Every structure is written in C-alpha cells, then in structure tokens.
Amino acid sequence: MLYAAIESKQDLPGKKILESFEIKFPEALYATWTLKNNTIWEASFLWEKKEHTALFSSGGQWIETHSYLPLGTVPMVVQKKFNKDYPRNQVKHIFILRKPEGVFYEFLIRLGNKQYKVRYNSNGEMKEQLFV
C-alpha cells in the first residue's frame, strides 16, 4: 500500500493508525491522509471500486467510514421513512456511514435557505438532525 499526504510538508499518521487502516481496509488504493483538529486522521481512498473516507483517532482506533450513496440503493425502510419526513426533491447528497455502533444513512438536505443533515439507522429510525 502506498500512502500520500495532501501536502508534501505534512506527515503521515503514526504506525498504529496505518496498521489499523491496513487491517480494516486491506485492499484500499490511493490513500491520502489529512490531520483534522490535531487529533483525528482522515483517510480518503478507493475501496471496493468506490471512494471512501475513514476517520481514525490519534491512538489508531477506527471511528467511522463514509461514502456517497445513490438514492436508489438506500434500503426501502429508510427511504420510506425519509420520504415521510422530508421532501425527496430537497436531497443534496446521501452518505452511508459505518461506525462501531452500526450502519447509518445520512441525508444532506436543503429546506428553504437552511441546510440539514438527517441521520437514520438501518431500521429507518431517525437518530439525528443537525443544522449545518
């Protein structure tokens, strides 16, 4: 696996983080790393023919992975609940979010001049709504 930093002056993450990444995503390609908030390392990479972003703590613990998702691939139970709660034509982006506690579907929507993130679990239960 070859790693790259966004800027040549930037360091790559430590050994624990790289080992955790290798274990979690053994077939990942083209990983680039960015340090966020001086404590979280973000890896952007190609895996299973899709672009993904994964977050790792400075100690090497995997936090989450997310990738774009077409609306037609969201589980029907989640789609139905979302369509009941919000206008479908207001969707800007959809992400699948994998975390240690489960899989979530995050919709980025625009209502009027406000933008929101709405998160559902795989059973269609709304877990979070954030103004962004």
In this prediction the pTM is 0.83
CB atoms closer than 10 angstroms to residue 22: 12
CA distances from residue 20 to 24, 26, 55, 59, 113 in whole angstroms, order as listed: 6, 10, 11, 10, 40
Quickly tell me which residue has 């989450």 as its tokens.
64
Over residues 26-46, the pLDDT tens digits come to 999 999 999 998 899 999 999
Other C-beta atoms lying within 10 Å of the C-beta of residue 19: 12
Q: How confident is the model at residue 1 (pLDDT cuts 50, 70, 90)?
A: low
Are 40 and 55 contacting, i.e. CB atoms less than 8 angstroms apart? yes
Q: Does domain 69-131 have CATH number 3.10.450.360?
A: yes
> Average pLDDT, whole number, for the chain?
90
